[in-house]
Structure 1
Amino acid sequence: MNSKWYLYILIFSIILVSCGDDVLPKPKAMLRLEYPESSKERLVSEKFQFEHNAQAQVKKNKNFSVTLDYPLMKGSIFITYKEVKNNLEELLADAQKLSYEHVVKADNIMEQPFINEKDQVYGMFYEVAGDAASQAQFYVTDSTQHFVTGSLYFRAKPNYDSIYPAAVYLQKDIRVIMESLRWNE
């Protein structure tokens, strides 16, 4: 065979290999996560009671503490009860300190006071934005006998962009907990 045929075969091979779909850039998009509409259940403890999302798996711990686990989101809300024994200022300082320990990684911490005078439930909700370990913290008290703190944690590396939809969903659940919390006398 002469070199002319080799050239034709080479050109034909290049054309054959180069034929294919045009490469197109992928459009910018974000993952859309949709969570089920939450139905409410009432959790009754010896010291307090509240409504929570029925999707949560409830685990009652010692000392009247409760864990609400959301396996699909790999998140949990940890709720701790403490009795007020002339130590309200110390309990408030500890709750605020716990919330602001995340300031190193947080982009912003937004405080939202909560007052329910009718049922004597007073507190604060902390919304944490950024790559912090906890995306929300809260405390509620009656100022005389009861003090409850809560924290939202995910079992994943704290990447705010990735956990944001789940964090927003669970922050709504925390607000429901705060709004429905009542003290058992």
Structure 2
Amino acid sequence: MRYLIVIFIFLFVVSCGDDVIVKPNAKLRLEYPTQSYHKTNTDCEYDFLINNNAQLIPGRNCAAKVEYPKMNAGVYLTFQKIKNQNLDSLLYDAQKLAYNHDIKAQSIPEQVFENPDNKTYGIFYSINGNAASQSHFYLTDSINNFITGSLYFEAKPNFDSIYPAVVYLREDIRVMMETMEWK
């Protein structure tokens, strides 16, 4: 009988506690600010619209970084003058840079870009997958100016995790390409 009382008291004490509450499934919700733009004023041969949430950091030889501090990302720009009819080699290098990511990328779709009003022609590469970069582009006027751009995150590439930010920044890159003007 003693054992029954001890077991009963033990079960009574152990069974006391909070009720289990089933929580609903959660989904990641990322919200980015509405995109609005302003024009850059560089000392180089080009200007374009930049997101108000980004900052342009000039570099040497008219290179620049469009930095997104809250996203830990940046679009790295490299500018070169076309000299001695070296456009073919510049195009080859830009395409090679994009396709260097094909080892980790699932796909690299290309989109041809033409804006005859601003005399800008190029290609935008969307790099899908766990590659180091998620987007590349180049623009040229085919005579004097050539610029390339690459999107990088300051984190290990996990495409599923950064995908919402990639979509947001790809739209910014398209705006940069559409509004690029040569001086």
Interval containing the TM-score (normalised by the shorter chain): over 0.9
Structure 2 Cα separation of the partners of residues 110 and 94 of structure 1: 18
Name the % identity. Answer: 46
Deviation string 1:94-145 (CA, Å, 9 cap, x unpaired) is 1011101111111111101100112210000001111111011000000111
- Structure 1, gaps ≥5 residues long: none
Structure 2 Cα separation of the partners of residues 48 and 118 of structure 1: 15
1:21-170 → structure 2 map (5 Å cutoff): 21-22=19-20, 24=22, 27=25, 29-45=26-42, 46-85=44-83, 86-170=85-169
Deviation string 1:10-30 (CA, Å, 9 cap, x unpaired) is 233234323442363652x43
TM-score norm. by structure 2 comes to 0.92
Structure 2 Cα separation of the partners of residues 108 and 12 of structure 1: 65
TM-score norm. by structure 1 comes to 0.91
- Structure 2, gaps ≥5 residues long: none
* Higher helix content, 1 or 2: 1
Q: Secondary structure at the match of 2:96?
A: helix
How many residues align structurally?
A: 180
Structure 2 Cα separation of the partners of residues 126 and 18 of structure 1: 61
Structure 1 Cα separation of the partners of residues 27 and 109 of structure 2: 25
Q: Secondary structure at the match of 2:20?
A: coil
Q: Which runs of 4+ in 1 moved over 4 A?
A: none
Deviation string 1:21-48 (CA, Å, 9 cap, x unpaired) is 2363652x43111111122111122201
Q: CA RMSD in A?
A: 1.5
